Structure 1
């Protein structure tokens, strides 16, 4: 690998941006494709599939064996609300290789006893996301679960502004309609607001905290793998 290529790879990794290194196995030539460049690349379709899966692999392109080395930033999940759904979600997240952070200013909820081994930030989201928690980005998912606009809204605003790949919020359609009005008043466009998954989670008929947690995580995985969202029943 050329020094220049390695330097770019390291810079993109440090900036939490994805890349794919395309290596022709016959002659060893390499080229680096940044995530933002994939759409205009001649191999856009195959590169897009590998980026969505996050997996490196061998492919045949034009009769030539080519290896695609996929570098994707570690995915982070920020949950706003140390509630029962979050408690049920924590052990499931561990098996999905997601880095979980739970934010809730209510210290009675955000306690190590309720969330053993989980990164807890007992601060208001606007303060936490501006200091204690690393900045949100396109490889972050955010789930707002408190039902309290004073807590959820600042987090949703930060997630939309950062273009997180997934933004979800708990609440009924009536609750979300009020939320939509507040966000519009705050200057967010309809396109931005429509990115919020509400009601949150895949429509699996979930009723218990564990089932809702499962539905939310399934929706996050679908968004990460770029599977189109089915219509909500």
Structure 2
């Protein structure tokens, strides 16, 4: 591998941006395709499918055999609210190798006893994102579960600004309508607000906290695995 290629891959990894190393197995030529360049690449569809799956592998293209090495940042799940649904959601998410952080300023709820082994941040979301929590990005999912606008709304706004790949919020359609009005008043456009999955989770008729957690995690996985043909602007 050429030093320039290695340097490019390392730079993309450090910046939490995806990249794919394309290796021609016949001639040995290699090139790096950054996620932002995916849509313009001749192999765009193939690259997008492999990036969505997170799997490297052999492909045939243009009569040649290529190996695609996928380098994608680890996916982070930021849960807003140390509630019962969160208690069920966190261990499920960790079983899928997601890095999980729970943010809730209510210290009576955000306790190690209720969330063993989970990264707990007992701050308001704005303070959390300005300090102890790593900045949100395209490889983050945010699930707002407190039902309290004072806690959920700042987190949703931060997630929309960061163009997180998944943004979901708990609440009825009536609750979400009020949320939409607040976010619109804060300057968010219809397209941005429309990215919020609300009511949160796939419609599987979930009732219990564990069932709702399953529906949320399934929706996150579906969003994670949807083919992408370019990074956000």
- Judge same fold: TM > 0.5, yes or no: yes
Give the Cα–Cα distance (whole angstroms) in 1 for the partners of residues 40 and 8 of structure 2.
19
Q: Deviations over 1:96-138 (max 9, x none)?
A: 1100000000000000000000000011011001111000000
Give the Cα–Cα distance (whole angstroms) in 1 for the partners of residues 45 and 120 of structure 2.
39
- Aligned residue for 1:129, secondary structure, equals helix
Give the Cα–Cα distance (whole angstroms) in 2 for the partners of residues 30 and 11 of structure 1.
17
Q: Quote how far apart the aligned CAs of 1:62 are.
A: 1.8
Give the Cα–Cα distance (whole angstroms) in 2 for the partners of residues 61 and 193 of structure 1.
39
Aligned pairs for 1:94-113 (under 5 A) are 94-113=94-113
Aligned pairs for 1:7-26 (under 5 A) are 7-26=7-26
Give the Cα–Cα distance (whole angstroms) in 1 for the partners of residues 94 and 158 of structure 2.
25
TM-score (norm 2): 0.96
TM-score (norm 1): 0.96
Q: Quote how far apart the aligned CAs of 1:93 are.
A: 1.1
- Aligned residue for 2:219, secondary structure, equals helix
The question of 1:212 aligning with 2:223 is answered no
Give the Cα–Cα distance (whole angstroms) in 2 for the partners of residues 94 and 173 of structure 1.
29
- Aligned residues: CA RMSD: 0.7
Please, which runs of 5 or more residues in structure 1 have no aligned partner?
228-233
Give the Cα–Cα distance (whole angstroms) in 2 for the partners of residues 46 and 197 of structure 1.
28
- Aligned residue for 1:143, secondary structure, equals strand
Give the Cα–Cα distance (whole angstroms) in 2 for the partners of residues 185 and 216 of structure 1.
27
Please, which runs of 5 or more residues in structure 2 have no aligned partner?
228-233
Q: Which residue pairs with 2:230 in the alignment?
A: none
Q: Which residue pairs with 1:27 in the alignment?
A: 27
Give the Cα–Cα distance (whole angstroms) in 2 for the partners of residues 122 and 38 of structure 1.
39
- Aligned residue for 2:130, secondary structure, equals coil
The question of 1:134 aligning with 2:143 is answered no
Give the Cα–Cα distance (whole angstroms) in 1 for the partners of residues 60 and 34 of structure 2.
21
Aligned pairs for 1:144-223 (under 5 A) are 144-223=144-223
How many pairs are equivalent?
Answer: 227
Give the Cα–Cα distance (whole angstroms) in 2 for the partners of residues 154 and 86 of structure 1.
18
Aligned pairs for 1:68-107 (under 5 A) are 68-107=68-107
- Which portions of structure 1, spanning 4 or more consecutive aligned residues, are displaced by more than 3 angstroms? none
- Aligned residue for 1:60, secondary structure, equals strand
Q: Which residue pairs with 1:36 in the alignment?
A: 36
Q: Quote how far apart the aligned CAs of 1:64 are.
A: 1.3
The higher relative CO (CA closer than 8 Å, separation ≥ 6) is in 2
Give the Cα–Cα distance (whole angstroms) in 2 for the partners of residues 31 and 129 of structure 1.
35
Q: Quote how far apart the aligned CAs of 1:183 are.
A: 0.3
Q: Quote how far apart the aligned CAs of 1:60 are.
A: 1.1
